[in-house]
Amino acid sequence: MNIFRKKHLLLIITPVIIISCVLFILSHYYPLSLLSINKQYIYTPESTVVAQYESKLNDLKSSYEKSETNDLTINRMQQGLLDVYHQDFLISGDSVVFTNEKFSSIKIDVIETRKILLDLTFSENYDKNTKNYLQLLVESIIEMESSIQKAELTASYSKEELEQVLNKLQMRFYSSLKYFDSFYDSYTNS
């Protein structure tokens, strides 16, 4: 009877251990997968990109704060356009925890920015150069939105793939910030 209990216990414990090991391995290599235990990924941004980005953002904010222009475009910039560029993984050299909720939050910010930009496109008259910069800015925002949606919807990314996606997203934000700066400069100097 004792041997029967040991075999029965072994038959129960062995699959539990195997399933636990498989889940642990999946969680480690595929942190946002459906079977992952924590469903989070810790991302450490590239410090040189963070420094360049933060410098560009601070320059833009200081020129914006010095501006004496007060119209719809400037007010909309103040209300929400600059907010999208203040993501913690962009301005902090520290590690940032990414979850599906974090991707959703960033996507919502980007969508709101796109809406503001599209509203500005049709509610203001800009010179040709400024319109071109605005178009580039809108296109870059749409590309960011698409990248975020891909990252958000794909739970099968490995750690390496998530790292690449987030590095590309970081660079998309940086190039979008440059377009924003060019649009702002062109607008205020026209």
Note the pLDDT of residue 30. Answer: 81
Q: For residues 169, 102, 50 and 43, what is the CA-based torsion angle, rounded to 10 degrees? A: -90
- What residues does 42 pair with on adjacent strands? 97
What pLDDT, in 10s, does the model give residues 109-154? 999 999 989 988 887 788 999 999 999 999 999 999 998 988 877 6
Q: What share of the chain is helix, strand, coil (3-state, %, to 5)?
A: 75, 5, 20
Q: Are residues 186 and 129 in contact, defined by beta-carbon separation less than 8 angstroms?
A: yes
Note the pLDDT of residue 132. Answer: 94
Note the pLDDT of residue 76. Answer: 75
Strand (E) positions, the chain? 41-43, 96-98
Given a cut of 50, the residues of the chain with pLDDT beneath it are none
Cα gap 171→107, rounded to integer Å: 16
**DSSP single-letter state for residue 96:** E
pTM: 0.84
Note the pLDDT of residue 79. Answer: 67
Q: Are residues 95 and 43 in contact, defined by beta-carbon separation less than 8 angstroms?
A: yes
Cα gap 50→30, rounded to integer Å: 26
